[in-house]
A and B are shown apart, each in its own frame.
Chain A
């Protein structure tokens, strides 16, 4: 139990569907992240929310839309995805500004997404 939960764990969707991924952290952290993990590629940072403010958007296509209503919850809204978007989507959280290694990221179990 890492203190970060994600739902759903598995998702199959068509290219015209709209779905949302949900992440919740129970660690009292102030930063949350969305990563994409594809086979044989490094974890790709998609979005960062620090104190609920989006601080990073690594040129992610607009078909991915993040939402962070509070410091404990993070959503990733998906619409009109492409087959190449099939991947494991990982959420993580950390306590920024703590120093001394306390900025360690803790990951959720991920959502395995398949786009048909």
Chain B
């Protein structure tokens, strides 16, 4: 079957670094996406990985290992506004599969 696993909730302190992990099993692989979703709002695109390695974009970085079916999203210098759900999604052969999302709480 196809599934994506990520932790349900994480808590971190303002200014800290947090790593959100995602493991996946899908039919075909055409890229892994991370989205941020604030409560009551639409998911917004954060990052995309299709090759192994680290992609850096400002305070956010995303890593992919296709052989391990594993990715992580790294958030540095956490801010209160980073409190949100982070969705891991894999584009399979024909469609996207989403994880349940990781709710991140940033504490002052």
Contact = CB atoms under 8 A, between A and B. Distances in A.
B96 A105 contact: yes
Interface residues of B, number: 25
B33 A104 contact: yes
B108 interface: no
Interface residues of A, number: 21
Given A42-B100, A104-B33, A56 B45 contact: no
Nearest to A45: B95
B94 A108 contact: no
A104 B4 contact: no
Contact of B95 (A48, A107, A108, A109): A48
B42 A90 contact: yes
B96 A45 contact: yes
A101 B87 contact: no
Given A101-B31, A101-B48, A104-B48, A42 B41 contact: no
B76 interface: no
Given A41-B100, A42-B99, A43-B87, A101 B43 contact: no
A110 interface: yes
Given A101-B50, A103-B31, A104-B33, A42 B98 contact: yes
Interface string B59-99: 00000000000000000000000000001010100111111
Given A56-B95, A101-B50, A103-B31, 10 more contacts: A2-B42, A4-B42, A42-B101, A43-B87, A101-B31, A104-B33, A105-B33, A107-B42, A107-B43, A109-B41
15 contacts: A2-B42, A4-B42, A40-B100, A41-B100, A42-B97, A42-B99, A55-B94, A56-B94, A101-B31, A103-B30, A103-B31, A104-B33, A105-B33, A107-B42, A112-B40
